[in-house]
């Protein structure tokens, strides 16, 4: 890593390596400049050509993603995707990681992750209206994990609560592969009038570059190259100076000032300063505008004295934005910043030479680099991909894998398995965490945390936004392409079950070292699955983020394609919620269970056969199911709808019952095996309820789309009762000789307690 004392000029010859650049990359830089770079230029290249900023290993793959779609106003390459939603409004959204900073300094790492994604949304001219956090940690019994959870959750809440953006959803997953490398992925959603769309560009030579927000310090020097683009080891604690420090109060002022600037039409272009700081903002804005930018170092407001030029140029100090403004409105711009109590300074000007030029305090030119060489024409690396020898982790010593078609043979009955699943921290309520997040600021929240999708009404319209984020890392250990496609299917289904139309998709691809063929194979397979699913379901990918080098001495993380989908419900009165509503309603299962327990929550409890596979996904079926859900919602046929995912059908039914405060009496036909029917996680299924007279309509609609549609029973009482019937159930329990019941009959209050206590128990915080 770069240390502040050790100036780049100390060791000529191999400086580039210490900055994380390879010899090949140095050669490519030299070729683009037609000369050797000086030390400052090299430092600028090192951050811009980092994996984090350049996507040098992933760009080729990402080109395969479908990015076109109806209403897409801004796609990949912008600070965030923007999609039209009607009524003259658009939604801006993006998922981003802050994994390594959070591993080193959990509170600040997570807080600045939130701050960074908020500014990305603001840079598009949108007012942030919702945050979602997808968090992944090692096993919760581990003291180090608990410390990380406390810090990360504190940081997400500390920033989001203070800036007044509700945190309305997310994921919390525990898996041993994340022990030394937790994942902190944050999604932000913002709203804007279409006409206010801002771009991160510098289109007009002669315009001025105004840096506003917090002054620049030495924090976060080399964050992009050091933290985000290298594997983790024991020396990670020494990287702490590379973690930025967040100031949500300044962040809030920055949001208000930025939105006022955009709203009043005072800026030509706007970009936040995140990874690679001023170097990134200046080169990307010039590159997009087809211009150049001249930066006057002496004009940059500082927090510390004696900063070297490279430190000013690559500092990742938080809460800063760069605006490109016409000279005639400069005074207005400075006025707005002053009123919000933010420092602002003209730090440069837009030129027509295509270069980013850096001038020092004596007026001497100390760097000159073509903007596109730093940005759009940075290096691309071809990586080797090869599938791993073993696609799943070996069973732990002493662990006996069980046949996938049986219930756990420990004298348990299905009710006990259901309680155990609801009580699992990957399945149970996240309330312990989400009560620390302000979920209702903004006065728009209709459904939030602990639901599969969050719903926010849009004031002044009849519409609502529906947002969800999902991932399938345990399936990905078996089949990364399937896992990515399943996550897309699940996430869009979670939006569709509410009656909303999915409009666009963002993703955060968290993977290992791309130089390792197996890790690169996982990445390329995931992108393949992602592209396939998005194409089949006709959802454009409007942006995303790639986080590589998620490895530690304990190994590589499970391949994690985190998916975020945003949809719109045109008439909020048509919203379908997940909870059971009324006694006597029919409970209906849409879709069919298929075999395969690998990667499921059930497998976590019971193990699975060594040759078992994850369930399969048929995208045509998924699409048909989503159409049925959407049409049924539009025709007001559905009383409730909830997707079947983690924990399978039994958990979906239990959740709908717990949330509705009302039980159900049901029969489930078992054709394969009881465990598959009750706890299997095969995709493309939903549990819905209807008023009995509406049943024929639903049955007709489903038949028309060839979606299986089966009555399970009816809502009522204070117990969840599920009788297993059919070939797979009758007598099967006796045959196995396991004392397994063919019926599940349990008081709702017991299920609720298990669900609520899952996380407090796992984290040792039972009160």
Partner 1 sequence: MKVGIVVFPGSNCDRDAAHAVRLAGAEAELLWHERPDLGGSQAVILPGGFAHGDYLRAGAIARFSPIMGAVGDHAARGGLVLGICNGFQVLTEAGLLPGALRRNTTLRFEHRWVTLSVERDDTPFTHAVPDGARLRMPIAHGEGCYWLPDAELDRLEAAGQVVFRYVAPEGNPNGSARDIAGVIDGSGRVCGLMPHPERAAERILGSDDGMHLVRSLVESIARVEAAA
Contacts to partner 1 by CB under 8 A: 157-158, 161-164, 247-250, 252-253, 339-341, 434-446, 457, 459, 572
* Alpha carbon of residue 35 to chain centroid: 41
A 10 A CB-CB count for 682 gives 24
Q: Rounded to an integer, what distance in angstroms lies between the CA atom of residue 590 and that of residue 633?
A: 14
Q: Rounded to an integer, what distance in angstroms lies between the CA atom of residue 695 and that of residue 700?
A: 9
Percent helix, strand, coil in the chain, to 5, is: 35, 25, 40
Question: Smaller CB distance to partner 1: residue 240 or 459?
Answer: 459
Closest distance to partner 1 from the beta carbon of 442 (Å): 6
Q: How many residues does the chain have?
A: 767
Whether 52 sits among the annotated catalytic residues: the reply is yes
Within 8 A by CB and 6+ apart from 734, the residues are none
Question: Smaller CB distance to partner 1: residue 256 or 612?
Answer: 256
Tokens matching residue 409: 């043979």
- H helical segments located in 97-207: 99-104, 106-122, 143-163
Closest distance to partner 1 from the beta carbon of 342 (Å): 10
Closest distance to partner 1 from the beta carbon of 150 (Å): 10
Q: Rounded to an integer, what distance in angstroms lies between the CA atom of residue 478 and that of residue 604?
A: 14
Question: Smaller CB distance to partner 1: residue 251 or 348?
Answer: 251
Tokens matching residue 336: 């707005």
A 10 A CB-CB count for 35 gives 10
Counting DSSP H helices and E strands in the chain, the numbers are 25, 28
Instruction: Write down the catalytic residue from 16, 52, 404, 424.
Output: 52
Closest distance to partner 1 from the beta carbon of 161 (Å): 6
Closest distance to partner 1 from the beta carbon of 435 (Å): 5
Within 8 A by CB and 6+ apart from 167, the residues are 130, 131, 132, 133, 156, 157, 160, 161, 434, 437, 438, 439, 449
Closest distance to partner 1 from the beta carbon of 749 (Å): 14
Instruction: Write down the catalytic residue from 16, 98, 100, 404.
Output: 98
Closest distance to partner 1 from the beta carbon of 288 (Å): 32
Closest distance to partner 1 from the beta carbon of 284 (Å): 30
Q: Rounded to an integer, what distance in angstroms lies between the CA atom of residue 424 and that of residue 745?
A: 20
Distances (CA, A) of 305 to 215, 240, 282, 445: 12, 21, 23, 45
Question: Smaller CB distance to partner 1: residue 253 or 638?
Answer: 253
Question: Smaller CB distance to partner 1: residue 167 or 216?
Answer: 167
Question: Smaller CB distance to partner 1: residue 192 or 516?
Answer: 192
Question: Smaller CB distance to partner 1: residue 65 or 156?
Answer: 156
Tokens matching residue 256: 């208000």
Question: Smaller CB distance to partner 1: residue 134 or 572?
Answer: 572
Q: Say if residue 549 is exposed, middle or buried (CB neighbours under 10 Å; 0-12, 13-18, 19+).
A: buried
Q: Rounded to an integer, what distance in angstroms lies between the CA atom of residue 531 and that of residue 553?
A: 32
- Return the active site residues: 52, 98
């Amino acid at each position: 890593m770069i240390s502040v004392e050790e100036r780049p000029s100390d060791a000529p010859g191999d400086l580039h390596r210490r900055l994380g650049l390879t010899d090949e990359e140095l050669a490519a830089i030299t070729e683009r400049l037609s000369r050797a770079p000086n030390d400052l230029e090299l430092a600028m290249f090192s951050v811009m050509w980092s994996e984090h900023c350049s996507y040098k290993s992933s760009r080729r793959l990402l080109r395969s993603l479908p990015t076109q779609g109806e209403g897409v106003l801004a796609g990949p390459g912008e600070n965030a995707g923007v999609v039209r939603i009607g009524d003259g409004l658009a939604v801006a959204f993006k998922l981003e990681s802050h994994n390594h900073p959070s591993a080193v300094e959990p509170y600040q790492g997570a807080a600045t992750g939130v701050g960074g994604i908020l500014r990305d949304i603001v840079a598009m001219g949108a007012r942030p209206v919702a945050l979602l956090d997808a968090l992944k940690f090692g096993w919760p019994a581990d003291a180090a994990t608990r410390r990380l959870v406390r810090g990360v959750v504190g940081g997400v809440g500390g920033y989001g609560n203070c800036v007044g953006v509700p945190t309305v959803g997310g994921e919390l997953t525990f898996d041993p592969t994340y022990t030394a490398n937790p994942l902190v992925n944050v999604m932000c959603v913002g709203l804007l009038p279409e006409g206010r769309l801002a771009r991160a560009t510098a289109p007009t030579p002669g315009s001025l570059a105004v840096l506003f927000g917090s002054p620049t310090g030495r924090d976060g020097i080399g964050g992009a190259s050091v933290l985000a683009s290298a594997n983790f080891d024991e020396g990670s604690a020494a990287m702490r100076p590379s973690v930025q420090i967040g100031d949500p109060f300044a962040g809030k002022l920055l949001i208000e000032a930025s939105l006022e600037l955009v709203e009043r039409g005072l800026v030509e272009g706007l970009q936040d300063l995140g990874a690679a700081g001023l170097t990134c903002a200046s080169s990307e804005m010039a590159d997009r505008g087809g211009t150049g930018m001249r930066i006057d170092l002496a004009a940059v407001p500082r927090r510390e004295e004696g900063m070297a030029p490279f430190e000013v140029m690559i500092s990742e100090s938080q809460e800063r934005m760069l605006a490109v403004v016409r000279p005639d409105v400069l005074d207005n711009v400075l006025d707005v910043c002053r009123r919000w109590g933010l420092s602002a300074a003209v730090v440069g000007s837009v030129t027509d030479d295509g270069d980013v030029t850096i001038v020092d305090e004596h007026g001497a030119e100390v760097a000159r680099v073509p903007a596109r060489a730093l940005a759009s024409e940075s290096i691309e690396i071809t990586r080797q991909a090869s599938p791993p020898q073993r696609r799943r982790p070996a069973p732990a010593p002493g662990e006996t894998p069980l046949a996938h078609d049986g219930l756990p043979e420990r004298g348990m009955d299905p009710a006990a398995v259901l309680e155990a699943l609801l009580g699992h921290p990957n399945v149970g309520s996240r309330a312990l965490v989400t009560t620390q997040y302000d979920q209702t600021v903004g006065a728009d929240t209709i459904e939030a945390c602990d639901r599969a999708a969050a719903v926010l009404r849009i004031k002044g319209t009849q519409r609502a936004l529906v947002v969800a984020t999902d991932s399938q890392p345990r399936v990905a250990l078996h089949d990364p392409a399937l896992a990515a496609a399943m996550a897309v299917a699940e996430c869009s289904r979670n939006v569709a079950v509410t009656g909303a139309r999915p409009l666009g998709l963002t993703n955060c691809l968290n993977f290992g070292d791309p130089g390792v063929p197996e890790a690169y194979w996982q990445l390329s397979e995931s992108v393949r699955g992602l592209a396939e699913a998005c194409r089949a379901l006709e959802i454009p990918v409007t942006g995303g983020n790639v986080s590589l080098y998620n490895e530690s001495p304990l190994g590589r993380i499970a391949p994690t394609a985190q998916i975020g989908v945003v949809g719109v419900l045109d008439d909020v009165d048509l919203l379908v919620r997940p909870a059971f509503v009324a006694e006597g309603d029919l409970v209906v299962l849409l879709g069919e269970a298929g075999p395969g327990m690998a990667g499921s929550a059930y497998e976590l409890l019971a193990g699975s056969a060594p040759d078992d596979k994850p369930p399969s996904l048929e995208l045509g079926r998924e699409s048909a199911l989503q159409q049925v859900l959407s049409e049924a919602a539009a025709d007001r046929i559905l009383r409730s709808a909830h997707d079947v995912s983690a924990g399978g059908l039994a958990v979906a039914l239990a959740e709908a019952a717990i949330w509705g405060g009302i039980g159900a009496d049901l029969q489930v036909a078992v054709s394969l095996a009881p465990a598959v029917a009750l706890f299997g996680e095969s995709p493309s299924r939903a549990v819905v309820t209807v008023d009995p007279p509406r049943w024929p309509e639903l049955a007709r609609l489903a038949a028309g789309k060839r979606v299986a549609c089966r009555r399970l029973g009816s809502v009522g009482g204070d117990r969840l009762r599920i009788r297993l019937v059919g070939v797979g159930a009758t007598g099967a329990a006796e045959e196995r000789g396991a004392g397994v019941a063919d019926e599940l009959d349990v008081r709702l209050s017991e299920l609720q307690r298990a669900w609520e206590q899952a996380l407090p128990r796992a984290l040792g915080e039972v009160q």
